Amino acid sequence: MNPQDHQLIYQGKAKSVYETDDPEVVIVKFRDDITAGDGEKKDTLTDKGHFNSVISAKFFEVLEEAGIKTQYIELLELGVMLSHRLDMIPLEVITRNIAAGSLLRKFPFQERQEFDPPIIQMDYKSDEFHDPMVNDDIAVALGFVTREELDEIRKITLKINQVLKDFLLKKGITFPDFKIEFGRNHKGEIILGDEISPDSCRFWDSETCEVLDKDLFRKGETGVMDAYQEVASRILDIEDKKKWNIKDITN
């Protein structure tokens, strides 16, 4: 399967989207490119696309089993995901269970302060405007969503947080925060899209608080791919490894 044989529809900072013969189905190619700071810091890390595709596929499967609609259809091979075509909403929906990252730079929260209920924050996805935080009025006035859709996005997001937090806890991973994106399918339904991976989430080892996500890259530390590999090997079971033929990338 070579996505490049298909027509490119969209090229983001870490993924490319290609057409298929079915107008409602696309191929998402997870690339090895990694960026931070609105794309200012850039690198290519071997196998990152493989890890992120398989980690996202696993999370999408866990969420589908919990009744949440996602864009995921199947992982065709490492790095290549067949997905439902969505018209993406340019909002980054960030959920915070524990204070970290930009929240600490912007507000007087204490490091690792816990939030129960979690905080949901929405940012306008735009490198040009540096992803500014928006409120409901701004998101609606910009024509991105209706108020009813915002209510639905919040409801689905809280459920996603609960399902993934519980799943990760069993794998020895704390889930401080994560970013997701939604789109509309051809019926206008709100569907979870994009990815759920160490690029878009914070993952900490529950015992040691060791960082297992893109924060290592943001801070210029080594072992970024070792951390992604650790997440993959913890969340995938033997059946997943067999199904996706990934004995070569996990321990």
- Closer residue to ligand UDP, CB minimum distance, 128 or 237: 128
- Closer residue to ligand UDP, CB minimum distance, 19 or 32: 32
- Position 101 contacts ligand UDP (CB under 6 A): yes
- Which residues 174-193 are close enough to bind ligand UDP by CB under 6 A? 177-179
- Closer residue to ligand UDP, CB minimum distance, 62 or 177: 177
Q: How far apart are CA 104 and CA 49, in angstroms?
A: 29
Among positions 200, 224, 225, 228, the unique one binding ligand UDP when judged by CB under 6 A: 200
Among positions 131, 190, 234, 236, the unique one binding ligand UDP when judged by CB under 6 A: 131
Considering only the stretches 75-83, 100-108, 204-212, 239-247, report the one whose residues sit in contact with ligand UDP under the rule CB under 6 A. Answer: 100-108
- Position 15 contacts ligand UDP (CB under 6 A): no
Q: How far apart are CA 134 and CA 123, in angstroms?
A: 5
- Position 12 contacts ligand UDP (CB under 6 A): no
Q: Per the structure block, which two tokens stand in for 8?
A: 């490119």
Chain residues in the site for ligand UDP (CB under 6 A): 92, 94, 100-103, 131, 177-179, 200-202, 214
